Structures are given as structure tokens and as C-alpha cells.
Amino acid sequence: MDHPTDFSKMMARRHSVRAYTSDPVARETLERICTAARRAPSGANLQPGSFHVLTGQPLKALIGQLQAADQAGAPIDLEYSYFPKPMPADLKDRQRRAGYALYQALGIARRDVAGRRAQFARNYAFFGAPVGIVVTIDRNMGKGCFMDLGMALMSLLLAVENEGLGATGIGAIANYAQVAHRALQLPEQELVVCGVAVGVPDQSAAVNQFRTERAGLDAFTSFRGFD
Ligand SMILES: Cc1cc2nc3c(=O)[nH]c(=O)nc-3n(C[C@H](O)[C@H](O)[C@H](O)COP(=O)(O)O)c2cc1C
């Protein structure tokens, strides 16, 4: 019998939100969200990573500087490698499908380079969210600590969902890591991992209507000794 729990419903419901209403999010709500994120487990309980939560003028200032860097064609200064190089064909296919779903929802044609570029630039505006979080980690942390931070990030996304809000991770923020460093006056030791947009989803926005697919169970699991 099928008994979907609140948890599985929440997992099924969560998706990346790329358009928001102008409703603000209270500091207390964000404190609850960040506290829930920190409940994530981590190797030796090191609890790696920091969340720099911005709204109002500080967010506006960061967005202005990111957009200026983007418009000036400033070189990308990502401080860590995110994707495999080279990207294997099957993963490239997943990346393309997610991109096509996004651009299709927005009615942006495959060959509309300017349209795609304009949508990509929305990353640097945190997709119009009232709250932008810059996620950082100490540069000396190993790969395992990035995994720990990933768990904290997932916990944060679920805590956002639990508050009836929406969010998306924004790796693109790390494209201009030094801009974020300067804007937030981050210690040099902190590496910029990504951004997260948080706010009330604009349910009427076309960009929020599509859902991404996932690989079937067989593609990423193996079970032994069960028969
Ligand atoms: C760490 C992280 C970084 C991401 N960076 C971006 C980004 O820069 N721009 C973007 O539009 N989406 C970004 N995403 C959203 C992913 O594209 C999205 O999670 C994926 O396509 C699966 O879709 P879903 O979140 O709607 O289930 C990011 C997600 C994560 C977890």
C-alpha cells in the first residue's frame, strides 16, 4: 500500500525556483532555515561551510557588482572545479536536457543566443529573489567536507520548502568569486562555493512550470543478496 509521508511529498514537490514575488522573508524564518541546515551530519561533526545571508541593500550591491562583471565580460574566476573535464557524453546529455526544459518553458529558441544569455544573466540577479545566500567553505577543507556542505545545502533547501518558500542553488555566483569576496569582505581563506536564492515562488512565472527528470533506479544503484 502506498503511504506517501510528508517527507516524500516534500521531496517530490521541491524544485528549483527561478522567479519570485517581491514579498520579503523575515530574518527569523531565515534563522530557522539556517539552523535546520546546520543539523546536517558531517564527518567528525566539523560542520564545514558558512551561509552569508543577504537582503536589501547588501544584496543589491552584490548583484550590481556581479552584473557589472558579467556585462564587462570579466574572466570567470571559479575557485574550484565543479564539472568533470571533459564532460562524459551521458552527463552532457543530462545537462542539455535540463537546459532545453528551462529554455522551452521560457519560449527561448535553441538558436536564440541573446535570449539564452539574458536568461543566464538572471543568475547574477539571484533570479529576483528577496534573499540571496552566498555559501563559502574554508579552502583547506577536503572533498569530504564539500560532501558535508552539500548535505547542509540539501537540508537548507528542504527547510526552505518546509517554510512554504522556494529556492534554487546558483553555482554561477562562484563564476565571479572575487566579486563576492570584495562585496562581502570575505576572509581570503573562504572559498566561494555557490549562491542560493530564497523567496516566495512566483507561481505564475513560466520558468517555474517545468520539472526536471531523473535517472531510473537501475542507472545508479545495485542491490545484492536480496533474492
Ligand atoms: C549547488 C547547485 C548549484 C546550482 N547552480 C545553478 C545555476 O547556477 N543556475 C541555475 O539556473 N540552476 C542552478 N542549479 C539548479 C539545478 O540546475 C537543478 O537543481 C537541477 O537541474 C535539478 O532540477 P530541480 O532542482 O528543479 O529538481 C544549481 C543547483 C545546485 C544544487
Give the CATH number for residue 31.
3.40.109.10
Is 48 inside a domain boundary? yes
Structural domain boundaries enclosing 162: 16-82+123-207
Is 190 inside a domain boundary? yes
Is 93 inside a domain boundary? no
The answer to whether 199 and 131 have CB atoms below 8 angstroms apart is: yes
Kindly report the average pLDDT of the chain as a whole number: 96
Instruction: Provide the pLDDT for residue 4.
Output: 61
The answer to whether 62 and 192 have CB atoms below 8 angstroms apart is: no
Is 142 inside a domain boundary? yes
- How far, in Å, CA of 106 to CA of 118, rounded? 12
Question: Ligand 1 mean position to 225 CA, how many Å?
Answer: 35
> The whole model's pTM is what?
0.97
Over residues 162-211, the pLDDT tens digits come to 999 999 999 999 999 999 999 999 999 999 999 999 999 999 999 999 99
How many structural domains does the chain have? 1
Greater confidence, 4 or 116?
A: 116
Is 114 inside a domain boundary? no
Is 94 inside a domain boundary? no
For the CA of 157, the closest atom of ligand 1 is 31
How far CA 78 is from CA of 7, 92, 119, 152, 204, in Å, comes to 34, 20, 20, 21, 33
Is 224 inside a domain boundary? no
Over residues 46-73, the pLDDT tens digits come to 999 999 999 999 999 999 999 999 999 9
- List own/partner pairs for 116-122 with CB under 8 A and 24 or more apart: 120/172, 121/67, 121/70, 122/18
Over residues 98-120, the pLDDT tens digits come to 999 999 999 999 899 999 999 99
Q: Where does ligand 1 bind, in terms of residues with CB under 6 Å?
A: 15-16, 18, 98, 123, 168-172, 194, 212
Is 174 inside a domain boundary? yes
Question: Ligand 1 mean position to 28 CA, how many Å?
Answer: 25
Share of residues in the chain with pLDDT > 70 (%): 98
For the CA of 172, the closest atom of ligand 1 is 8
